[in-house]
Structure 1
Amino acid sequence: MSDFKKGDVVQLKSGGPLMTIIADYPSHSHGHSVRCVWFNENKPVEETFVVEALKSV
């Protein structure tokens, strides 16, 4: 279980843009996951990540 919650700002451990968590999926088929949003060239992008790949910033 992670300590992440909606509204938290996170980043992939490998780097990349700052992202905001918009949904929590504790029972996702690939493990506990969260849905994140960030902007790429002024356009919002959304993707789901397993929490083990993320760090708080």
Structure 2
Amino acid sequence: MPKETLFKVGDLVKIKSGGPVMTVRGNYGSDIKNFECQWFAGKKLEMGRFPSDSLVPVEDEPK
């Protein structure tokens, strides 16, 4: 039975301490509690890896 992750690919998240809104790219490694995220810093696409304990979901803005 597959384990359920906290975030799915495409979810919007932020680091608990602040920072830019990031998009979840997926899990990394064998631990389902670690996520690879991407965000834009100006025009440059950045990527980083974060433990789930450091992330919070961001609600979609109304359209």
Q: Same fold (TM over 0.5)?
A: yes
Higher relative CO (Cα under 8 Å, sequence separation at least 6) belongs to 1
CA distance in 2, matches of 1:33, 1:45: 17
CA distance in 2, matches of 1:4, 1:52: 11
Letter in 2 for 1:23: G
**Which structure would you say has the larger Rg?**
2
CA distance in 2, matches of 1:3, 1:49: 13
In structure 1, the partner of 2:13 is 10
Tell me the TM-score normalised to structure 2 length.
0.76
In structure 2, the partner of 1:24 is 27
The gaps in structure 2 that reach 5 residues or longer are 59-63
Shift of 1:27: 2.2
Structure 1 vs Structure 2 CA RMSD = 1.8
Tell me the TM-score normalised to structure 1 length.
0.83
How many aligned positions are there? 55
The gaps in structure 1 that reach 5 residues or longer are none
